[in-house]
Amino acid sequence: MFAYIVRRMFQSVIVLLVVGLVAFSMFRFVGDPIDNMLGQERTQADIDRLRTELGLDQPFVVQYAKFLQGAVQGNFGVSYRQGRPVSTILVERAPATLELAFVSGFLAITMGIALGVFTAIRRQGIAANVIMTVSLIGVSLPTFLIGILLIYVFSVELDLLPSFGRGETVMIGSWSTGFLTASGLKALILPAITLGLYQMTLIMRLVRSEMLEVLRADYVRFARARGLSDRVINFRHALKNTLVPVITITGLQLGSIIAFAIITETVFQWPGVGLLFINAIQFVDIPVMAAYLMLISVMFVTINLIVDLLYYAIDPRLRVDARAT
Amino acid sequence: MILRNSAVGLAMLLAGTAQAAEFKWASTTDPQTMDPHAVNSAPVLGFLNNVYEGLVRRGKDMSVEPALAISWEPIGEGDGWRFKLREDVTFHDGSGFDARDVLFSYQRASGEAADTRSWFAPVSDVVVVDDYTIDIMTTAPNPLFPSSIANWMIMDQDWTEANDAVVPDKEVGNYATINTNGTGAFKVTEREPGLKSVLEPHDGWWGEVEHNITRAEFNPIQNPATAVAALLSGDVDMINPVPIQDVARLQQSGEVDVIQGIEARVIMLGFDHEAEVLKYTDDAGKPNPFRDARVRKAVAQAVNVDAILATILRGNAEAASQLVSPSMSGYSKANAERPAYDVEAAKALLAEAGYADGFSFGLKCPNDRYLNDEAVCQAIVGMLAQIGVSAELDAMPVRNYWPELREDNYDMYLLGWSPGTFDAEHPVRFLVATLNEEKKLGSWNFGGFSNPRVDELLPAIQSELDQAKRQAMLDEVAAIIQDEQVYVPMYVQPLVWGAQSNVEVTQRPDNFFLLRWVTVN
């Protein structure tokens, strides 16, 4: 067990290092930050001076090594655009993204499971068919279009919800939360739906097909024969057995909700790390881009590591293999 | 009775107009710093013009008017300028303003680390005469100096020193990157970089208050569609810019006004004047046709600017004949005519230059810098095809574009230029003068154009005190630029803002948005 964990951790570190290396080799194709940092009346001397100060005249491997050196000490450098430490900015922006991801993840799971069960039980019903058809839209429409459509309907036409931003926030320690104010909660609705819609339809379709399978299983038929009520059969026995694959998928999707919040955040001007990353690309803010990419890859690697370890705990075959080698 | 009613009505009317209001506006870019000397860019200077002030400022029509200085006069025969300072000025933190702050701000804004350094290239010395008089000496007579420093903002020496921000720092940032202490009509009360900035009126402001704002909030909104939705839904009172394609829709909505004007920025085509050979397409390696003025003229005659304005810019811009728009000082009225669109004449010029069969070359273009820039370049490619010249378009984000131009990776390119001094001398200095690092000339003359007469006239223009003589020289330079067709000026870019119907704003050609001219009815 221990050897397995150590080996997986080692692999994770290698993955992180490679991600960083690839990222740094790409940065010079993103563009040149110098022109954004100097005004129109700059001279070639100013350009050269700033380039040297920022270390941009060095090969990317050297830049990467410098970044790593700082990163292991928790220092991600200073944003070119904001002139403030990247770590401070990330801490400021993270709550917005995490709250949004939490709410949309919650929506996706609860709504996805509820609708999935409903459409499985009432397979032939009109409502179930309507839901299934509409869910196709959720899977096939791109996020930015859904976002703009929601803004158009609910902010411009109906004037019910705000079109952008996070509303009023309250600081709890260093965590800014939008959960405690009316405007903060209202501002969450549209972005959360936009971000969670895809996951919701995914979970719904997954639950539905698993449920249909389980409902045909022998133990369900026996349960029916025993005279148990539909409610007990559907929710106590059938649903429980559908949830195993759902949990796996949900775990993996959690990472992508956070990582792919970029588009939703841009459409709604949601002040999270995704928007920060888009800004950083436009400005060629290398320290912010590097820190964000590393953070996201750490997150994915950690999630995968946990999933792997869970498999290890669940699946005895892996343990046998490990002992054999 | 009637009299009393109308008096009540009048009182209500007055109360109505004087009603205090909150105001929210949005723009695509957040000012990257609050330090007025760290970054010389329009979003920063435009925002900070609400907070800080210079010795002089620009009025609604761009004319120079007194601000922290009440008057100024030349010293001797053009040795410099003497500024008399305003006495009743306080900074936002309550401390007083005097000549020491001006000297300090000069040192700060002209230092090695300041991005505003080039404004002070003509300055040899700054001398405090008394508390409210300061002399700024120039190396040569400089008639335009007062109008060239309208964006040089004065900081409080004590505040800046106490907060350890004496040197502007754009790489790592310091106290002044986030905090402000100006003398302007508004003070920043809340600043969250990239998210929002809140401004409130400065009670001790020396000027006469024209606005009725009690609190103003600025939000950057990057996505143009979101900004338009925010305006339509009333979440913000004003946005800048409005995407050209949404103008008609907003005008029809009835609830919002579209405010249009002409920006100072002229959009033009530039050439490589130096390269021996072409660098792109199948003709790469063949002699560079753009070294021949006849070919450059042919390009100018082949581009149908009116068609570009009517279709791509939907009638929102106006054609340009020179490197500056007619509203700038020093504009050459004698050279106001631009080459007519004439395909046959263009073909004849090409044949004369020995390119009767045309040629092909590479056109570089940004796709996120100017309004609909890529579409404009695509149209130009089509227009040039009509005279048998085939252009291969390579459009890219601006963050990749400038490095390409600096490394001469183009045969022809698109450029926009907004003269920082609002004078015709500015583009000559940056775009036409022969490159000279030491004298800071020609730093944007990517194509390497060089004309001895222009180089000779430029210093004379810079120091000429007599307006008529100066204009004569500017006319001569404008004529040379046109004869040589150094660039092909096409049009002056439009400014398009959107605001709620109950809001009155003033749009200036430099695209600065000033809160002190906002009234919410």
Q: Do A40 and B397 touch (CB under 8 A)?
A: no
Contact predicate B518/B503, CB 8 Å: yes
Phi-psi region of B229 (alpha: psi -120 to 50; beta: other; left: phi over 0): alpha
Backbone angles phi, psi at B93, to 5 degrees: -85, 5
CATH number of A105-282: 1.10.3720
The residue in chain A having the minimum alpha-carbon distance to the alpha carbon of residue B121 is A41
Q: Do B399 and A36 touch (CB under 8 A)?
A: yes
| Residues of chain A contacting residue B118, judged by C-beta atoms under 8 Å apart | 41-43
Give B277's contacts (C-beta < 8 A, 6+ positions apart). Answer: B284, B285, B286, B287, B288
* Interface membership of B434 toward A (CB under 8 Å): no
Residue bearing the bigger pLDDT, A324 or B253: B253
Q: Do A32 and B403 touch (CB under 8 A)?
A: yes
User: Can you read off the two tokens belonging to residue A321?
Assistant: 């293999």
Mean pLDDT is lowest, of A19-28, A239-248, B88-97, for: A239-248
User: Which of B89, B105, B84, B107 has its CA nearest to residue B154?
Assistant: B105
**Is A147's pLDDT higher than 60?**
yes
* Interface membership of B229 toward A (CB under 8 Å): yes
User: Can you read off the two tokens belonging to residue B456?
Assistant: 């000779």
The secondary element (H helix, E strand) that includes residue A20 is helix A2-30
* Interface membership of B170 toward A (CB under 8 Å): yes
The domain ranges of chain A are 1-81+284-325, 105-282
Q: Looking at CA atoms only, how far is residue B519 from chain A in angstroms?
A: 24
Q: Do B235 and A162 touch (CB under 8 A)?
A: yes
Q: Do A32 and B399 touch (CB under 8 A)?
A: yes
**Where in chain B do CATH 3.90.76.10 domains reside?**
34-184
Residue bearing the bigger pLDDT, A300 or A236: A300
Nearest to A156 among B119, B229, B403 (CB): B229
Report the C-alpha gap between B44 and B52 in whole angstroms: 11
* Interface membership of B118 toward A (CB under 8 Å): yes
* Interface membership of B220 toward A (CB under 8 Å): yes
Which pLDDT does position B8 carry in this prediction?
42
* Inter-chain contacts counted by CB atoms under 8 A, chains A and B: 143
Q: Looking at CA atoms only, how far is residue B298 from chain A in angstroms?
A: 30
| Residues of chain A contacting residue B194, judged by C-beta atoms under 8 Å apart | 82, 271, 275-276, 279
Q: Which residues in B373-435 belong to E strands, given as ranges?
A: 390-396, 412-417
Task: Determine the residue among A27, A36, A41 to mutate to test chain B binding: the one whose Cβ has the most chain B Cβ atoms within 10 Å.
Answer: A41
> Under DSSP, is residue B395 helix (H, G, I), strand (E, B) or coil?
strand
Pairing of strands B360-366, B412-417: parallel
Report the C-alpha gap between B184 and B514 in whole angstroms: 11
| Residues of chain A contacting residue B40, judged by C-beta atoms under 8 Å apart | 38-42
Q: Do B222 and A81 touch (CB under 8 A)?
A: no
The residue in chain B having the minimum alpha-carbon distance to the alpha carbon of residue A78 is B172
> Under DSSP, is residue B315 helix (H, G, I), strand (E, B) or coil?
coil
Contact predicate B89/B69, CB 8 Å: no
**ipTM of this predicted complex?**
0.83
Report the C-alpha gap between B49 and B151 in whole angstroms: 7
Burial A228-248 (b: 16+ CB within 10 A, else e): eeeeebbeebbbeebeeebee
Can you list the alpha helix ranges (DSSP code H) found in A122-181?
126-140, 143-150
**Where in chain B do CATH 3.40.190.10 domains reside?**
1-28+185-255+501-521
* Interface membership of B39 toward A (CB under 8 Å): yes
Q: Is the dihedral of CA A253, A256, A261, A264 positive or negative?
A: negative
* Interface membership of B224 toward A (CB under 8 Å): no
Give A285's contacts (C-beta < 8 A, 6+ positions apart). Answer: A33, A79, A80, A81, A279
| Residues of chain B contacting residue A42, judged by C-beta atoms under 8 Å apart | 40, 115, 118, 443
Q: Do A279 and B399 touch (CB under 8 A)?
A: no
Within 283-322 of B, beta carbons closer than 8 Å to A belong to none
| Residues of chain A contacting residue B179, judged by C-beta atoms under 8 Å apart | none
Backbone angles phi, psi at A32, to 5 degrees: -120, 120
This prediction has a pTM of 0.86
Q: Do A32 and B118 touch (CB under 8 A)?
A: no
| Residues of chain A contacting residue B409, judged by C-beta atoms under 8 Å apart | none
Which pLDDT does position B20 carry in this prediction?
77
Q: Do A266 and B232 touch (CB under 8 A)?
A: no
Fold of B264-494: Dipeptide-binding Protein; domain 3 (3.10.105)
| Residues of chain B contacting residue A40, judged by C-beta atoms under 8 Å apart | 40-41, 418, 420, 430, 444
Task: Determine the residue among A53, A154, A156, A265 to mutate to test chain B binding: the one whose Cβ has the most chain B Cβ atoms within 10 Å.
Answer: A156
For residue A67, the tally of other CB atoms under 10 A from its CB is: 23
Pick the CATH number of B1-28+185-255+501-521 from 3.10.310.30, 3.40.190.10, 1.10.579.10, 3.40.50.2030: 3.40.190.10
Q: Which CATH class is domain B34-184?
A: alpha beta
| Residues of chain B contacting residue A89, judged by C-beta atoms under 8 Å apart | 193
Q: Do A159 and B119 touch (CB under 8 A)?
A: no
Burial B131-153 (b: 16+ CB within 10 A, else e): ebbbbbbbeebbbbbbbbbbbbb
Nearest to A155 among B170, B229, B400 (CB): B229
Q: Looking at CA atoms only, how far is residue B361 from chain A in angstroms?
A: 24
Pairing of strands B64-66, B69-75: unpaired
Per cent of chain A over pLDDT 70 is: 96
Q: Do A43 and B234 touch (CB under 8 A)?
A: no
Burial A168-178 (b: 16+ CB within 10 A, else e): ebeeeeeebbb
Task: Determine the residue among B24, B28, B32 to mutate to test chain A binding: the one whose Cβ has the most chain A Cβ atoms within 10 Å.
Answer: B32
Q: Which residues face B260 on adjacent strands?
A: B496
Nearest to B399 among A31, A151, A266 (CB): A31
Report the C-alpha gap between A260 and A257 in whole angstroms: 5
User: Can you read off the two tokens belonging to residue B288?
Assistant: 């560079």
Report the C-alpha gap between A27 and A23 in whole angstroms: 6
User: Can you read off the two tokens belonging to residue A242?
Assistant: 């559908």
| CA distances from residue A131 to A122, A195, A267, B46, B230 in whole angstroms, order as listed | 11, 19, 26, 51, 31
Which pLDDT does position A320 carry in this prediction?
62
User: Which of B170, B35, B197 has its CA nearest to residue A83?
Assistant: B170
In order along its 521 residues, chain B shows pLDDT tens digits of 344 444 444 444 444 445 778 999 999 889 989 999 998 888 899 999 999 999 999 999 888 999 999 999 999 888 999 999 999 999 999 999 999 999 999 999 999 888 898 899 889 999 999 999 999 999 988 888 998 899 999 999 999 999 999 999 887 889 999 999 999 999 999 999 888 999 999 999 999 999 999 999 999 998 889 999 999 999 999 999 999 889 988 988 888 999 988 888 999 999 999 999 999 998 999 999 999 999 999 999 999 999 999 999 888 788 999 999 988 889 999 999 999 999 999 999 999 999 999 999 999 999 988 989 999 999 999 999 999 999 999 999 988 898 899 889 999 999 999 998 889 999 999 999 999 888 888 989 999 999 999 999 999 999 888 889 999 999 999 999 999 999 999 999 989 999 999 999 999 988 999 999 999 98
Q: Looking at CA atoms only, how far is residue A266 from chain B in angstroms?
A: 7
